[in-house]
Amino acid sequence: MAIEIKSGEELLNEFFEELKVIPDVDKDVIDILYGLYHQDKLSRKNITNALSKSRGETAK
């Protein structure tokens, strides 16, 4: 029986798809993280800026 080893990209794609169906997680946060990931812009600074913007705060 062969064990399938998934690539990092496959694991991340699964993670972000599964994030969408977790109950009680803010949909806006999921959309922001999902969007940044698919734009290849998932960094601490971009996450902070996007979350701050979605809450109407000034990014630091």
Residue 46 forms part of a structural domain: yes
pLDDT in tens, 22-48: 889 899 999 999 999 999 999 999 999
Helix, strand or coil for residue 50?
Answer: helix
> Domains in the chain: how many in total?
1
CA distance 3 to 46: 36
Q: Which domain holds residue 46?
A: 26-55
Side chain identity at residue 17, one-letter code: E
Q: What is the rounded average pLDDT for all residues in the chain?
A: 90
Q: What is the pTM of this model?
A: 0.74
Alpha carbon of 26 to those of 22, 45, 50: distances in Å?
A: 9, 20, 14
User: What is residue 58's predicted lDDT score, i.e. its pLDDT?
Assistant: 67
User: What is residue 48's predicted lDDT score, i.e. its pLDDT?
Assistant: 95
Residue 14 forms part of a structural domain: no
Residue 40 forms part of a structural domain: yes
Residue 12 forms part of a structural domain: no
User: What is residue 60's predicted lDDT score, i.e. its pLDDT?
Assistant: 56
